[in-house]
Each structure stands twice: as structure tokens, then as C-alpha cells.
Amino acid sequence: MSKFDVIVIGGGHNGLTTATILAKKGKKVLVVEKRKILGGIAAGEEFYPGYSTTGLLHDTSGVRMEVVKSLQLEKHGLEIDKHRAAVTILSKDGKSITMQSDLNATAAAIGKFSKNDAEAYKEYQDFLKRIGNVINDLMDNPPPDIDVKNLTMASLVVLAKKWMMFKGLGNKTMMELLKVAPMCVADFLNEKFQTDFLKAGIAAPALYGCYAAPRSPYTTINLLLWECASRSNIKGGPQALVDALQKAAEQASVEIRTGAEVEKILLDAERAANGVRLKGGEEISAAKVAASCTPKETFLNLFDDFELEYQLDYWIEKVRSRGTSAKVNLAINKAVKLNGETVEYARTGNSFDEMEKAFDPVKYQQVTDAPFLDIHIPTSTNPSLAPDGHSVISVLVHQIPYDFEAGWSSNAKKKLAADVLQTLETYSPGLAKAVVGMEVLSPADFEERYTLTEGHIYHGEHFVDQLITRPIPACSRYATPLAGLFLCGSGSHPGGGITCAPGSMAAAAILR
């Protein structure tokens, strides 16, 4: 039986982050990845001959620069724009507003439609700037240890510092944050802006990975977390991050095995994790195991029945991971413009009423005919992803239920693709005739291809009760009730998306 200090299950961006940090600290580390390629949902893949995406997800604005710096990823070819990418908010009447990192330029674009909204946007950004340090301190560090039975002086100091940062906001900002955090994002933005499609576009990230609509309570905190964490942009998208992480891991002597599916996490006589068994029977031992797969996959599928304590099994079962996203990749035989503009990132939504109506069918296991879209056209900056003069459109389709009552048959996916194309035709007339190939991935396909429980892109819903104590209180600081077993994926604090944050903080917990 081979022997390692740590085995990392899953070769996505978080798993690679954990492995590389540990290896750089002198640990002997093995990464085992089920698929033939690394990257997980950050892996770019060819979906039609000659046409490739840069990853399942698009947004790299939350990648933690501390991780990039500590792993020296720029030396491994990673290129970073210190500002987050411009996003064009589309209206179905042909209007559009491009949200840039330049505050004045964005305000000027908004001002073409509403002078009030232009000033409101400046005030909104000022509020985000005032609360940014407090929000980011909460999300860039492990959750505080509040176990009263084992409360140490160090834990008390951490809690005191967080309280002092919060008080440091001043009474006005502190009270404003306390007021808006529980609000639904519709009410929050309605208080500030008048233009419907602008409000819908700003709100959209609050609803990604969340079983909610604009009028659902606590969606404002999701928006604030995303806005404060979004600080940069990886050139080349998630795949470029994976490429750099792989090179860093290999340089640090991490052993990587693809096509190696874990069948079971092994426990010793004292019920401590001490290795894994791969599909096929090979057993590999290690002092510790770090799982970057979903919490439900880890605990419910990688242990034998009745092997876990009832309470742990029970609470992991209760983690909500109802997938509400699908993916449509399109191969297009021409350059693409949306509302007459060449764009790289775009969002649709149009109004809170339309977004609310898109969510209504999800509650009844049905699929809307009018989903809202998160659009990425990577060929606008990387034409090598398609033949000369052609384009790739990568579309994340939101408010699409995993548990579709009729089932995700080939006909159901064709209908979804037709609805997406019809929506895109609104912003780019004639686009459907330029499609030469496509790939449609339902939430059920996400589960099968990427082992995402219930097809959830973030390993579990982003909602206030599943953020700080993520995935459950007993596992919220990466260690689990099983000695030697750690969680290092998006199901842990601070949540999903392309960030490297859970992987980085889990590595620190393992080293402690």
C-alpha cells in the first residue's frame, strides 16, 4: 500500500490549491481525480470539433490574489487583470449598459438612461467601499471558532477583532448594513435605482447558485458578498487558472493521478481517516485525507452505510443543494454582437418581475420558457478557441431545476436549447442560423459529469444559513468529526465559484 502525508480527492481548482500549498510545506501529497482531465468545473473542454470553452463557470473575479502570490502562479503563466471584467447588461428593447471597473465611465453609461441612477450607482459603490473590508475579512478568513466548550484566548481575540472592525464602520454605515443585509435584493435595489433592466443586471449574481428569486429574503447579502469579493479577472478564464495550478503543483512535487475514482475513504480501528480505496480495488494510505468533492458526495457516497455517526449523517443529508443552473455551449460561424456591441460578458434579466416569473416554475419542478442568462463569449479575447472568424458562446442558464418533473430527456434538453436560442435572438437577430454545433448540459448532466450533488454548481446553496457555518457547524472549519478527514471544496467556507479560497484555508487547517 502506497503511503502519503495527504491524499486530496478531486483535481479541481480547490483541490489543486490545497495540494500545492501542502506540498510547498514539505508534505508528500497525492491528488486523485475521477476524470481524465484536471480542473473540474474550471476545466475548459472541446464541445464541438474545433470549438472549446474555458470552463463550466465564467467568473474569475473572486480568485484570491493571496493564493496567486503565495503559489507564484504568475511565474507559471497566469495573467491577471487587476480589475474585474466589464459586463454588459442587456435589455430586450436593444438597450445596454456596460459595467466597467471605471466608476465614472459606468456612471456615464447609466446616465444615458437615468441621471438619478448614475448618481445612485456612485452612492452604491461608495457603500460597497465602506463595508468592503468588513465583508472581505469575514469571507477571506476561516469562520471564527465559537465552540464555548473549547473557547481559547486566541479565539476570543479573533472575535474581538471582528467586532471592532464592524464597530469601525461607524454608526451610520453599521446601521445601514444591518438594515439591508436581510432584505430581498429587489427591495434593496428598488430603493436606489429606477431603470428596470439595470436593477435586474446588478441583482443577477445574488441569485446564481441560490434557490431564490429577487423577492426572496436575504438575497441582498449574497449580492454584497459577491460585489465585495470581485476584485480582478483571470485572462484566459478558469482554464488558465487550472493550467497554472497544475504547473505549480508539479513543480512542488505533487503526484497527480487522473482517471482515478475514489470508491471509499478508509478508516482505521479508531475511526480516523487513513487513506482511500480506488475503483478497481487499489488502496492508498495517508495520514490525512482532504476531499474537494461535495460534502454530500464525501459523507454519503464514500463511506459504507452506518459507518458514520447518526448525527453527522443526518445533518449532511439536510444540506440544501438544489441545482438551478444549466449550460448551453454554442459554436457560431461568425463574429457575434449583442445589442449591436462586441462583448465578452453579458447578463439578461430585464426586470424583477421577469426574473421572479422565471423562478416560479422551479418550485413546482417545471422549467421556464424564459430563463435569464449569464453569457460569456471567450472568443472575443481568445479567438484560438474557434476557427478563424467564428465564435464560441458559453451560456449559464439560470432557474433551471435539477429535479425536473418530466426528466432531463434528450427532448427536454432540445427544448431548453431552443428557449435559450430564442432568448439570444432577441439580442442578436439571426444568431440561430449561424449555429454549427452545440452542447446542452442539464443540472443532471452536471451531477453525472462533475459529481456535483443535485447538479449544484457551488456544491451547496448560497444562503445565509449555509455560508458561515458551511456546510454544517460540525465541519465549518474544514476539519470534520472524523479525525484525519478534511473538506477543501466549494461546499466549505466561503462557498462556491472560482476563488481558490476554500482550498487555501483548508490547507492551513490541515497544517495546523
Any idea what the Cα angle at residue 93 is, between residues 87 and 98, rounded to 5°? 15
Exposed e or buried b per residue across 381-393, where buried means at least 16 C-beta atoms within 10 angstroms of its C-beta? ebeebbeeebbbb
| Measured distance CA(30)–CA(39) in Å, rounded | 15
Cβ 471 vs Cβ 429: under 8 Å: no
Cβ neighbours of 328 (radius 10 Å): 24
- Across 428-433, average pLDDT: 96
Q: What is the pLDDT at residue 315?
A: 96
| Measured distance CA(506)–CA(118) in Å, rounded | 41
Percent of the chain with pLDDT over 70: 97
| Measured distance CA(66)–CA(500) in Å, rounded | 10
Q: What is the pLDDT at residue 36?
A: 97
Q: What is the pLDDT at residue 149?
A: 61
C-alpha neighbours within 13 Å on the C-beta side of residue 329: 22
pLDDT confidence band for 377 (50 / 70 / 90)? very high
Cβ 359 vs Cβ 212: under 8 Å: yes
pLDDT tops 70 at residue 114:
yes
- Across 139-150, average pLDDT: 76
pLDDT digits (tens, 9 = 90+) for 285-315: 999 999 999 999 999 999 998 899 999 999 9
Among the listed ranges 61-70, 147-156, 247-256, 311-320, which one has the minimum average pLDDT value? 147-156
- Its CATH class, for the domain covering 2-80+235-320+452-511, is alpha beta
- Across 81-103, average pLDDT: 96
Cβ neighbours of 113 (radius 10 Å): 16
Q: What is the pLDDT at residue 417?
A: 97
pLDDT confidence band for 151 (50 / 70 / 90)? low
pLDDT tops 80 at residue 6:
yes
- Across 213-237, average pLDDT: 96
Cβ 117 vs Cβ 194: under 8 Å: yes
pLDDT digits (tens, 9 = 90+) for 442-474: 999 999 999 999 999 999 999 989 988 999 999
Give residue limits of the domains in the chain.
2-80+235-320+452-511, 85-229, 325-401+405-441
Q: What is the pLDDT at residue 137?
A: 92
Nearest residue to 52 (alpha-carbon basis) of 329, 404, 368, 240: 329
pLDDT confidence band for 143 (50 / 70 / 90)? confident
Nearest residue to 200 (alpha-carbon basis) of 378, 377, 359, 361: 359
Higher-confidence residue of 411 and 155: namely 411
| Measured distance CA(190)–CA(7) in Å, rounded | 49
pLDDT tops 70 at residue 147:
no
Q: What rounded mean pLDDT belongs to the chain? A: 95
| Measured distance CA(223)–CA(203) in Å, rounded | 7
Among the listed ranges 149-158, 184-193, 217-226, 416-425, which one has the minimum average pLDDT value? 149-158
pLDDT confidence band for 168 (50 / 70 / 90)? confident
